[in-house]
Structure 1
């Protein structure tokens, strides 16, 4: 199996188009044409993790956080990033990062967080904007079903919990072909009026080339008339953070101890307890201070995240509890999810969960 084949599976798990614009995801180091010997899955691809990969004969390291985040002008081994990259290159080890591609996924980081706490009725806290496009095309009635089904098969027509969604309307199309044309209906230089079906479907923008290929392959016209629009709708199943509900409400302090146990957190920093039971819980793995207002607007009783600064705790405004459980702790089980996913998709192959604890934060 080539590394490139494994990358296809990883992109099915967390499409790179889901990632935030600031992020650096995908294959960071290595040649995708290399024969794969094994996969080591970790949280951070540090030098010690590369040593672990060498020891286990794994030449692909799949990490959550990208070890290469911003550009490097020199690679001299002067810091932990450069040391890891040098060791990976010396040992022909590829590094692939998922980060916000998995953060934004409906079954990704924040769903894992919710599952850890047993939350129900979970939905995205901050749906992703500017991700949906609309295709409008026109064809004869006899061709409409074939075109529609091909577009659905390519991934168009999914809206929330519904699939195969389209809008179809009848109208009259006109055209006249020139000397280079070869019309399906009519002949060159003949003005044609013909009944047509207008088909409208939405799709995720990263599917555009696949959608157009399906359209062109299954359309009967020589020249396919179509338009693609960016639309302002948010994607309710892709985005950052989640909000869910506890089956049984808990007192604030009781719930924080519960979170501490479930996430194996060594300490939780939190704003004032409000003297009411916790029912609705918002979560955002990693640094989530930017989502405080979203959690309040969603009616959360508590917002679990990480990396909150002193003054940000004031932003709770006695409307909810803010709780910083630790960056690593909030994403702790992500690597387990990746391993489980790969083992289901790639059988009889070495897929190893890293035993290295790469959490840089220590507690007394």
Structure 2
């Protein structure tokens, strides 16, 4: 097995196409074609984590957060980031980061929090736009069924709980090839009419190369007429945050105690208590002040997130309770999830869960 094999499975879980533009995900250090001796899974990649990988004979670190976030102009060991990169390279250890690709994943960071709290009726809080594309093409009617099937096999035509979705219109296509053409039907230099089917399918953004390969490999024409457009539709399976419901309504103070226990936190910073009981809960792991308006619009009783600033708490405006549980605390179970996922996929090398607590914030 090589490093790229591990990456392929991680991208099936959380395609890197859906990471935020500001992020730096993927293979940050190392060669994708190197063989895998072992994988260490961590939330953050620090020097101590690289030491842990060395001790466990792991030459791939799968990290939630990227160690390289901003551009590096020099790598001389003057910062903790540079020292990590140097140590990893010296010991032939690759580093892969998944970060906001997993944040935007339906079974990612926020789903983990929801499951910890036992929430039901879960859905994406901030569905992502620009992630659904539409293919339109024209094919001889006699070839339409086989082309549709090839497109469906790539994942095109999946809409929510439905598969093999397409729209088809019968018509007549015309073309006339020049002296350099080699038409499948008709003769060069002659105007040809053909009964054709217009096929339209939608697909997830990350599938585009597979969909187009299927189109070109299964279309009979020398020149394939097609169009790919990006839709503004919100994608209900990709996006930031989630919202769900508790099994039963809880008094707010009971819920905050429950939250501390389930998320293993000692401190919760929260806005004014304006509700006696709560049931509808929004979550967004990591920095989540941007989710406050959406949480209020979704009629959430509480938003669980982190990194709220002083003035963010004012924006609750008596409509919602904001609960800041800490950045590390909101994402701490992510590495367990990733380690379990990879352990199920690979049994021929060790997948090791990092025991290093990388939380830089300490409490008295």
When normalised by structure 1's length, the TM-score is 0.98
Aligned mates of 1:155, 1:275 — CA distance in 2: 45
Residue 11 of structure 2 is aligned to residue 11 of structure 1: yes
Provide Cα deviations, 1:179-238, integer angstroms capped at 9, x if missing partner: 222222222222222221110011122221111110011111121111111211121100
CA contact (8 A) 1:252 1:274 kept: no
CA displacement, residues 331-360 of structure 1 (integer Å, 9 cap, x when unaligned) = 111001101110111123100000000011
SS for the counterpart of 1:202 is strand
Match of 1:169 in 2: 169
Counterparts of 1:257 and 1:342 in 2: how far apart (Å)?
33
* 1:19 CA drift (Å): 0.4
Aligned structure 1 segments of 4 or more residues deviating by more than 3 angstroms: none
**Distance between the aligned counterparts of 1:73 and 1:156, measured in 2?**
42
Deviations along 1:128-163, one digit per CA (max 9) or x if unpaired, are: 111111110011221111111111111211222222
* 1:77 equivalent in structure 2: 77
Instruction: Indicate the residue corresponding to 2:130 in structure 1.
Output: 130
- Once residues 44 and 115 of structure 2 are traced to their aligned partners in structure 1, the CA distance between those partners, rounded to angstroms, is 22
C-alpha separation in 2, matches of 1:350 and 1:67: 23
Aligned-partner Cα distance in 2 for 1:114–1:79? 36
Is residue 30 of structure 2 the alignment partner of residue 30 of structure 1? yes
Deviation by residue 1:47-69 (Cα, 9 ceiling, x = unmatched): 00001001101011111000110
Residues 29 and 94 of structure 2 are in contact (CA less than 8 Å); yes or no, is this contact kept in structure 1? yes
Partner of 1:94: 94
| Distance in 2 between residues matched to 1:204 and 1:222, nearest whole Å | 27
C-alpha contact (below 8 Å) 2:133/2:229 kept by paired residues: yes
Q: Give secondary structure in 2 for the equivalent of 1:152.
A: helix
CA distance in 2, matches of 1:86, 1:76: 8
- Match for residue 307 of structure 1? 307
CA contact (8 A) 2:251 2:278 kept: yes
Q: Secondary structure at the match of 1:65?
A: coil
1:327 Cα offset (Å)? 0.5
- Quick one: distance in 2 between partners of 1:305 and 1:71? 28
Give 1:169 shift.
1.0
Question: Partners in 2 of 1:9 and 1:90 — Cα distance?
Answer: 27
Q: 1: distance between equivalents of 2:103 and 2:128?
A: 11
Q: Is the 8 A contact 2:132 2:205 kept in 1?
A: yes
1:113 aligns with 2:113: yes
Q: Could you say which residue in structure 2 is the equivalent of 1:323? A: 323
1:39 and 1:350 in contact (8 A); partners too:
yes
- Distance in 2 between the 1:236 and 1:200 partners? 20
Moved more, 261-270 or 70-79: 70-79
2:150 maps to 1:145: no
Cα distance in 2 for partners of 1:294, 1:75 equals 41
* Aligned twin of 1:196: 196
Aligned counterparts of 1:319 and 1:108: Cα–Cα separation in 2? 28
How far the C-alpha of 1:11 sits from its partner, in A, is 1.6
**Secondary structure at 1:73 match in 2:** coil
Partner of 1:267: 267
- Residues 16-49 of structure 1, C-alpha deviations (whole Å, 9 max, x = no match): 1010000000111111222211000001000000
Structure 2 CA distance, aligned partners of 1:294 and 1:30? 39
Contact 2:36–2:349 (8 Å) recurs in 1: no
Q: TM-score, normalised by structure 2?
A: 0.98
- Structure 1 residue runs of 5 or longer lacking an equivalent are none
**Cross-structure match for 1:244:** 244
